[in-house]
């Protein structure tokens, strides 16, 4: 995204985490970035992570990005999920 203004115009479904509007998945570069930063998104439930992972996988197929991990849990650095407190 070139600017915050352009990002704010994107519909929520163009983000991995729709409610928080985190991790845009609008092209191959952004999909790879969403995977790399997946564990850095805070304040989301496991259900929201499941839904975000499905959106990321669909976008990866659309843009021809290979994802070599089985599921999002393997991306978590400390092996704990970030849950709302």
Domain count, the chain: 1
Indicate whether 69 belongs to any domain: yes
Its domain, for residue 45, covers 11-75
Q: Is residue 42 part of a domain?
A: yes
Residue 83 lies in a domain: no
Residue at 4 is within a domain: no
Per-residue pLDDT tens over the stretch 3-53? 777 778 889 999 999 999 999 999 999 999 999 999 999 999 999 999 999
Report if residue 85 sits inside a domain.
no
57: in domain: yes
* CA atoms in the 13 A half-sphere facing the CB of 47: 2
Task: Give domain status of residue 2, yes or no.
Answer: no
**Cβ atoms of residues 47 and 6 within 8 Å:** no
Query: Is 70 among the domain residues?
Result: yes
- pLDDT tens for 11-22 read 999 999 999 999
Q: pTM above the 0.85 mark?
A: no
């Amino acid at each position: 995204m070139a600017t915050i203004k352009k990002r704010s115009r994107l519909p929520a479904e163009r983000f991995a985490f729709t409610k928080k509007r985190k991790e845009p998945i609008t092209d191959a570069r952004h999909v790879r970035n969403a995977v790399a930063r997946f564990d850095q998104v805070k304040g989301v439930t496991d259900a929201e992570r499941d839904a975000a992972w499905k959106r990321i996988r669909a976008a990866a197929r659309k843009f021809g990005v290979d994802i070599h991990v089985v599921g999002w849990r393997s991306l978590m650095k400390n092996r704990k999920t970030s849950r709302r407190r």
